[in-house]
Amino acid sequence: MSEPHRVKVVAAPPALAIETSGLTKRYRRVTALSECSMVVPEGRICALIGPNGAGKTTLLRMLAGLAAPTAGTASVLGGTPRQDPAFLADIGFLAQEMPLYRRMSAADHIKIGAHLNSRWDGESARARLLGLDIPLGRAVGTLSGGQRAQVALALTLAKKPRVLLLDEPVAALDPLARRHFLGTLTSAVAETDGALTVVLSSHLIADIERVCDYLILLTRSQVQLAGDIEDLLAEHKVLIGPKKDTGALAATHTVVHTTTTARQSTLLVRVGGPLIDPAYEAADISLEELVLGYMGASAAPAYAGLTTVAEG
Amino acid sequence: MSWLVWRQYRAQGAIALALLAGFGAVLIVTGAQMASQWHSGLASCAASGTCAKLAQTLSLGSPLGRDFVLLSNLVPALLGFLWGAPLVAGEVEAGTRAYAWTQGISRTRWLLVKAGWLLLAAAAWGGAVTALTTWWYGPRNALYASAFQPNTFDTQGIVTVGYSVFALALGVAAGALTRRTLPAIAITIGGFIGMRLLISEVVRQHYLTAVTAFYNPLQAFAPPGPAWTLQQGVMDKYGQVFTGGNGPEVNGVPFSALPANCQKFIMIDPGTMTKTSLHAAVTCMQASGFRGFVTYQPASRWWAFQGIETGIFLALAAALIAAALVVVRRRDA
């Protein structure tokens, strides 16, 4: 589906690996994801951040074709997620619990993958696991959590996916295993030379900072913030100043979140122009402050558009 | 995909083969024993000219052996809950569906290949069991002419193949629907036993219209060969059927239902009834239009019934697999 308004842009817009529009998933009474519209450009490593229950898993499962949306559309590599070998060949999906057949070995899984996938690089999976000293012949149920995660990741990468969807892959791992897992992931992404798009859900901001260059913040089953992490950090400032009316400030800038003490206010603002009020002291923002500021923002979503460059 | 099925089920397949071997060993030993009893019985009755009464004088094997063979009725249900119920439900419970259903094959193919191989295995296993029991029953069928009786009909011929395939398909469908192995096992066992009882007790006798033969109530009569007798009794000239009951009776007809002119031949106290008076009463009954009748399925229909029953269970299995396919495709993983 082409979008006419993009024709006006002079520089070619980045191709989109993932695009959702009004994507909604309702279970009997619970709305797991509400009107989610977002894009992930091709070749990005995108962090999907949000508190538990924000809808991260639901979103990823719909993108992988495991669940069907109640409303809205999703497009992954230009196609609707579906139970179709041609679509599934391009998708690597890793569920949070790293499901594998516990009584089978990594070598068995590599062989299974060869039978189930038209495009399969079992050799690289084998080499990757041997490089990590993970026994290929042992039942995966007897491996440590970190080793099992590495096996699951290696198997997912062996599919040679163009979009990799990882649901909380490091949540259950200890810090060292987490570091190793993310190391494997970044080196695999580097090998593909921009052909692989990754969406990684997590609530651990430190890990994301190390690996990701794109961010989607999901809270209360809605997208609060999305964009290139560097751009987002550049566009936001922390202002510290006296406790006073912020009306004038809000005319040019978007005040995302305000914390006040007896004497001063700390404002998280999205900068919309030059900062001229000398009463405020402006400081750069860390990713953690940014994420927590948006998560804590009680106001209506400050974020409305799809890309950060479209604003201002 | 087939390799995955082989890898997932090879251990269970080996167990199934071992069970089959054990079952086969018992059947071959007891079956060979019965066959030699049968042959020596035939030889001695031919020498003494008593072969007509062989069924009364010869007893084959032991009741224990027969009960053991009746156990083969449970074999299909076993397949249903050991292999069928966890086929989808097990993958849901272990979370592995998220792995299996994001590989480069459709869920349709995943289910069809997996269920297809297991259905074939179930058919082969059921076939092997029934080949053993059918051979085992050979001398008994010849001696007791009971191959059409409900218990023995169900444990030989080709019906076991149909039962096995049905039980497995039922397990698969129940597992796909409930997504949990234990409830699926309960549904499989309950559904299998329920359907088997419904078919054997209610439906089977209607596969083909039963034959009714009438005979002189003075004579004993049995349908030829190992027929399946559905009803036997005496009918008066208006078509009312008497099959015996409580109280004094003649050939199943209560005294009170006898015509007045026949009642005089017998005393009210049956203890004093003589053979002569009974004969006179029955002759009188025949003169008043009473007839003996027997409704039965002729022995020649045995294979037709095996075929129809197998067909019914295979069709049920096909419907269940189709239902499982719809559920697996439509529902979110």
- DSSP string over A55-118: SHHHHHHHHTTSS--SEEEEEETTB---S-HHHHTTEEEE-TT----TTSBHHHHHHHHHHH-S
Q: Which residues of A touch B4 (CB under 8 A)?
A: 112, 115-116
CA distance A135 to chain B (A): 19
Q: CB A99 to CB B333 under 8 A?
A: no
Q: Which 8-state DSSP code applies to residue A25?
A: E
Question: How close, in Å, is residue B121 to chain A by CA atoms?
Answer: 21
Q: How far is CA B139 from CA A78, B41, B64, B157, in A?
A: 70, 11, 16, 15
This prediction has a pTM of: 0.86
List Cα–Cα distances, B233 to B201, B224, B285, in angstroms. 20, 17, 14
Do A257 and A225 contact (CB within 8 A), yes or no?
no
Yes or no, beta carbons of B102 and A85 under 8 Å apart: no
Chain A contact set for B3 (CB, 8 A)? 111-112, 115
- What's the pLDDT tens digit per position in A200-247? 998 788 888 889 999 999 887 788 899 999 999 999 999 888 887 777
Interface of chain A against chain B, CB under 8 Å? Answer: 61, 64-68, 83-85, 88-89, 91-93, 95, 97, 99-102, 104, 108, 111-113, 115-119, 152, 159
For residue A22 the two structure tokens come to 């009004």
Q: With CB atoms and an 8 Å threshold, state whether A84 touches B105.
A: no
3-state helix, strand, coil in chain B (%, to 5): 70, 10, 20
Question: Which pLDDT tens digit goes with each residue over A249-279?
Answer: 888 888 888 888 878 888 888 988 887 778 8
Whether the CB of B103 is below 8 Å from some CB of chain A: the reply is yes
The residue among B305, B310, B91 whose CA lies nearest residue B206 is B305
Report yes or no: B10 at the A interface, CB cutoff 8 Å. Answer: no
Determine the pLDDT at residue A302: 41
Radius of gyration of chain A measured on its C-alpha atoms: 21
Residue of B102, B106, B328, B332 best to disrupt the A interface, most CBs of A under 10 A: B102
Measured between alpha carbons, how far is B112 from B92 in angstroms, rounded to an integer? 17
Q: Identify the CA nearest to A107 among candidates A87, A77, A127, A83.
A: A127
Structure token digits, residue B23: 């079952």
What is the interface size between A and B, counted as CB pairs within 8 Å? 74
User: What local confidence, expressed as pLDDT, does residue A299 receive?
Assistant: 39
Q: Which of A112, A120, A140, A166 to mutate to test the interface with B (most CBs of B within 10 A)?
A: A112
What distance in Å separates the CA atoms of residue A34 and residue A272, rounded to the nearest whole number?
Answer: 28
pLDDT of residue A306: 31
Select the residue from A88, A100, A165, A166 to test the B interface by mutation, using most B Cβ atoms within 10 A.
A88
Q: Which residues of A touch B96 (CB under 8 A)?
A: 99-101
H/E stretch holding B230: strand B228-235
Pairing of strands A197-202, A45-49: parallel
CA-to-CA dists, residue B44 to B54, B56, B193, angstroms? 10, 14, 43
B131: left (phi over 0), alpha (psi -120 to 50) or beta: alpha
pLDDT at residue B143 in the model? 86
- Report ipTM for this prediction: 0.83
B3 CB within 8 Å of a chain A CB: yes
Average pLDDT for consecutive 10-residue bins of chain A (312 residues)? 51 82 91 91 93 88 95 94 92 92 94 93 94 94 94 95 94 89 92 91 85 90 88 91 80 83 85 82 90 69 35 30
Would you call A83 and B2 a contact, using CB atoms and an 8 Å cutoff?
Answer: no
Query: Among A61, A95, A117, whose Cβ lies nearest the Cβ of B95?
Result: A95
State how far the Cα of A157 lies from the Cα of A150, in Å rounded to an integer.
Answer: 10
Q: DSSP letter string over B167-221?
A: HHHHHHHHHHHH--HHHHHHHHHHHHHHHHHIIIIIIGGGSSPPEEEEE-TTS--
Characterize the bridge pairing of strands A31-41 and A16-26. antiparallel
Q: Is the pLDDT of residue B331 over 60?
A: yes
How far does the CA of residue A64 sit from the closest CA of chain B (Å)? Answer: 7
Task: Return the pLDDT at B272.
Answer: 61
Q: Of B190, B300, B107, B297, whose CA–CA distance to A88 is shortest?
A: B107
Q: What are the structural domain ranges in chain B?
A: 2-207+300-330, 211-297
